[in-house]
Chains A and B, each alone.
Chain A
């Protein structure tokens, strides 16, 4: 029998593809993906100029904050307009430890995660009683209220000048920018693997159950309040690490680095990347870092002058947000995934479901976790 044309096109069903498939065991699967990502990023950073390395490092640090936010909002259904404040807590923790102690660098970073997570825990407790706009309002207050504290006790927190941070000396001839980028990328990948595993575990399912229906979740034996507080603490901990990394990038930690707009931009970038996804946060972070530059050069091309340029970044951010929301309501990652499935299923004959990647169990594809 002659194979139908559609069958020939159906390369995604080739037997060798099956052998290349990633393991289904979550930890192995995520570690392999992370190692692949690490290899790509290593090659990328090794060929870039120091400034581009610095930018890649910034992307990585924003990925950490966005991934935490994505977990909180996309997976657990809580909103936060105060993630800039958690970043500030992480940044100040590292900076204070660097100023007053000689702890190991990794210990300082872990302390940042811990301090932000503890604050997240404290905020998470009242947050369990609040929903939607009320929760947004409360977390917004956090973003507004925390920075003045650092201004008030300026002898401890360094006031306007802030506290200086130092990155461990780079080995060999590696530039400081590349070395920092590697540290930040490593941090981002570790966090992504940990979160990806968490989301495939009992806790991840509990997060989603609570998001979808709190009553049903509690009937199923899930402690709703505890689950929500835990999501808040984990998310805040991620922001804490991102803040510590931001402090390392700038070389100094002061309140000006954590304005209200940071919290709002994080939320917008998370939506752009794909709420509830982890990999999609790379898109969000790339936009956060590159959109301002992109708009500067665009404004230069059109000779718009500095005044217009300043607002162009915000306008472009808004336009991109609207376009993405119309074209791909699930964010860039959701849109790409949808497009990929569509391409992969083209020609695989009648009956193929474009919403389901061929050869994969239906429940995985339907899973809202969106990890891959």
Chain B
């Protein structure tokens, strides 16, 4: 008898493990294949909508380079939905929000969005994040006639007549660029100006706005970086800006890049006036990054703490009251909502630019549902946003711009200065930077409209939000 056959225990283990793997695999595939859309009480024939529920979904980065900070937005949105559900939902329908991790990879977004639409039968895709990711599913969602609402990106591409089911929410990057550019032109006339921006749509759309306002002869240097390979300090770019003699540096950077640009600048004694897009200027997000990068580089806790001070005096813009504005009624409401309905998120991140963003966006969607009425349909929802979007109550300084032809949200903001003398932000992460406004709230558009002062009112939180918990 061949001794290799029956005597070897290891071989039988191998057979068992292989067999088990095969069975497990087969079972997985079968279960994945056989899982059909969840049976729900069919009160309407609108996908995702029953007499008692509305199911919506989103794809967001919960891991990967884009996750830090951005992974707070969807949970913050969920806090708003939990709040409205605890108060009877919208027309008796409770909102079920499914958000999946696409890791900021458009190929994952494509698969997961199909899972949400074709398998989970969502009513609408709400609050999905990213330009490349959402561009990947724009035509799919429109061909399926699924609303792709309030995309978390300021790309100029969401207000496109050929994609009527898509809609942005935050100010387009070009609008932010124009408002900040207008301020730079007026305030720093005659000074040398340098740009540092991300080499993709975010950076180029923003710079497009800057260039509409800032005379090109005063721009002495234009530096870019690649978000995908952002790993270390942007020393070369900063050295080039210093060499060109830029006294004002305007940056369209994500939070990590903001920190990675300011730190090497400080190291070579270069302290220009920084002007940041709102994307990369949120103090509770950027402050800890400045500290942790410094801690890693120097090992000194004191220097790490002091690094946060680099944000002092930075100019940026805001389109809703920053978390540091503790007396603002919206900030009070947002903080309470987060404490009551997302205590773990509040303990981890506190109220910062990202959680505020999620709350405001979700509250916008709740109002869209209310405006769409009892007989909820997808075209009905879009029509309601186009018709009454301008009158939605949001924390935004300016009303939403929605109409049949405009699918941008806010088209205005206020230039602010970060300062340690303003009331400090009260977040568990210990940020101490507050802000003060330096211009009135201003509005413009992505086209040739001038930057003008906003003369309308800014809405206050409704009773339902302030009086309840």
Contact = CB atoms under 8 A, between A and B. Distances in A.
Q: Do A and B come from one complex?
A: yes
Interface of A: 44, 48-52, 54-55, 58, 144, 147-148, 151-152, 154, 159-162, 164, 176-177, 246, 249-252, 254-257, 259, 261-262, 283, 286-287, 289-290, 292-294, 296, 306-307, 309-311, 320, 323-324, 326-328, 332, 335-336, 338-339, 342, 350-351, 353-354
B301 interface: no
Contacts of B300: none
Contacts of A292: 108
A353 B136 CA distance: 54
A334 B63 CA distance: 34
12 contacts: A50-B114, A54-B114, A148-B226, A162-B136, A250-B106, A251-B140, A256-B132, A326-B17, A328-B17, A338-B14, A339-B18, A354-B4
B103 interface: yes
Interface stretch (B21-29, B260-268, B422-430): B21-29
A251 B137 contact: yes
Given A51-B119, A336-B18, 10 more contacts: A51-B115, A160-B131, A251-B139, A256-B132, A261-B105, A289-B111, A293-B32, A306-B99, A310-B62, A342-B11
Interface stretch (B180-188, B199-207, B330-338, B460-468): B199-207
B155 interface: yes
B15 interface: yes
Contact of B28 (A49, A252, A294): A294
Given A327-B14, A327-B18, A246 B29 contact: no
A56 B109 CA distance: 17
A66 to B, nearest CB: 16
Given A327-B13, A335-B21, A254 B106 contact: yes
A317 to B, nearest CB: 13
B118 A251 contact: no
Nearest to B120: A51
B118 A50 contact: yes
B101 A310 contact: yes
Contact of B36 (A49, A161, A249): A49
Given A54-B111, A256-B132, A159 B200 contact: yes
Interface residues of B, number: 62
Contacts of A164: 139
A296 B136 CA distance: 22
Nearest to B11: A342
Interface string B1-25: 1101100000101110111011001
B39 interface: no
Nearest to B140: A251
A112 B59 CA distance: 30
A323 B25 CA distance: 13
Is the contact region of chain B dominated by helix, strand, or loop, or is it mixed? Answer: helix
Interface of B: 1-2, 4-5, 11, 13-15, 17-19, 21-22, 25, 28-29, 32-33, 36-37, 62-63, 67, 71, 75, 99-101, 103-111, 114-115, 117-119, 131-133, 135-140, 143, 155, 157, 199-202, 204, 226, 228-229
Nearest to B65: A259
Nearest to B199: A151
A160 B118 contact: no
A31 to B, nearest CB: 26
Residue with the highest number of chain A CB atoms closer than 10 Å, among B21, B25, B103, B108: B21
B5 A354 contact: yes
A-B pairs with lowest CB-CB distance, top 4:
A310-B63, A51-B118, A250-B110, A327-B17
Residue with the highest number of chain A CB atoms closer than 10 Å, among B106, B118, B131, B137: B106
B32 to A, nearest CB: 6
Contact of A250 (B25, B107, B202): B107
B204 A154 contact: yes
Residue with the highest number of chain A CB atoms closer than 10 Å, among B13, B22, B108, B135: B135
A292 to B, nearest CB: 8
A86 to B, nearest CB: 15
A151 B225 CA distance: 11
Contacts of A251: 110, 136-137, 139-140
A256 B33 CA distance: 28
A323 B21 contact: yes
